[in-house]
Structure 1
Amino acid sequence: ETTEVDSKTLRRIRALRDFGDVKKGDLGGYIEKEDNLSHHGNCWVGGGAKVYEEARVRDGAKVFGNAHVYGHARVYGNAVVCNNAEIYDKARIFEDAAVYVDAQVFENAHIYGKARICGNAQVYGNAWVGGNHIMSTGEKTR
């Protein structure tokens, strides 16, 4: 099964082995190329999520719920990106951070620790948001 995003063809993935809540044979989200999702660790792209261009998901990171990760973005560690969030440009989401509910992280922004970015919040520029920080409901940080 395939889908198109910005003139790019993405293919639905299928789990090759059991890990966590994912069972061998489960259908996942969409990637443009194998390099988008590491075969090492327990990372996963699920549901309608899309990872493309030079973006990478690795370690134990999860991307699902119609999220988009693209450009040169990286999602790793045990980070979670979901529910229509967008991660792009050279943004980094790592450690136990979560970005969800229509939030956007882009340019050279980094989200780490146990930070939570949600509810149309935007983090961009060279911002670093970490620790237990929570951003929501349209907040912007540059």
Structure 2
Amino acid sequence: MQKYKFTGITKEVYGRTLNQIACVTAFASIKSGEIGGYIEKEANLSQDGDAWVYENAEVYGNAWVYENAKVCGDAKVYENAWVCGNAKVYENAEVYGNAKVCGNAKVYGNAKVCGEAILRRGFTEKVTDYIVIGPQGTRSSFATFHLHSNTVCTGCFVGNLNEFKKAVYKTHNPDQGRVTFNNQYQRVIRVFEFLQEQDKDAQ
């Protein structure tokens, strides 16, 4: 199904030509003929699902918006970033680098999500709402800790900090000789706990 086409209206962003989109097949709350935001190429916005780029939002580079995700307002998604699931990026927020915003996560205000960050739930209004540490572990993966939702995302793991501790002990049990990776993850856990305490004191 083709749900959108280019209107022929373009704008230049950092040497890239972005194309305004228009809906051609109604879906979700988007009506046929409704004008959307700007993407560089069709590979930036899935023709399937209910994903949409609204208003003045921009998606370019190798960025990909799909499933039911929404990019609105003056938000920007670029480089190799993904926005998917029921995630929403809006206002003046930016998602870039290799970051992934998915699940029910929301990124808004002047927040910037970048690098190897993975956000799957909770809301992010400013860059200090989360921290990314890595690489570590057998997969050289990055661990993202989202303060507001007390969520750790790394590799295929998603859960709260206590669940993360248990998963580390189970997978990298030092009593079974898995000392190196356990030590790496214990350092990550200590940093996350410190930030969690700081966040509680600030409230």
| TM-score bin (small chain) | 0.7 to 0.9
State the distance in 2 between where 1:38 and 1:20 align: 14
Q: As a proportion of its length, which structure holds more helix?
A: 2
TM-superposed CA distance for 1:18, in Å, is: 1.2
Matched-pair contact (CA < 8 Å) for 2:131–2:145: no
| Structure 1 position 4, deviation (Å) | 1.0
TM-score (norm 1): 0.87
1:68-107 equivalence runs, <5 A: 68-107=76-115
CA contact (8 A) 1:43 1:60 kept: yes
Aligned residue for 2:43, secondary structure, equals helix
Pick aligned residue for 1:21 from 26, 29, 52: 29
Shift of 1:121: 2.7
Q: Is the 8 A contact 1:105 1:124 kept in 2?
A: no
For 2:30 and 2:92, locate their aligned partners in 1 and report how far apart those are by CA, in whole Å.
21
Matched with 1:31 is 39
Deviation beyond 6 Å, 4+ runs, structure 1: none
- Give structure 1 stretches of 5+ with no counterpart: 135-140
Q: Look up the equivalent residue of 2:127 and give its one-letter code.
A: A
Among residues 120, 128, 131, which one is paired with 2:144 in the alignment? 128
Partner of 2:177: none
Check if 1:116 corresponds to 2:132.
no
Cα pair distance change 1:124/1:74, threshold 3 Å = farther
Q: Which has the larger radius of gyration?
A: 2
Displacement of 1:128 in angstroms is 1.9
- Take 1:47 and 1:129, find their aligned partners in 2: how far apart are those partners? 31
SS in structure 1 at match of 2:115: coil
Identity of aligned residues (%): 39
TM-score by length of 2: 0.61
2:56 aligned residue: 48
Shift in Å, 1:17: 1.4
Higher relative contact order (CA 8 A, sep 6+): 1
Q: State the 1:71 CA deviation.
A: 0.4
Could you tell me which amino acid in structure 1 is paired with residue 149 of structure 2?
A: H
Contact 1:112-1:130 within 8 A present in 2 as well = no
CA–CA separation in structure 2 for the residues paired with 1:78 and 1:91:
16
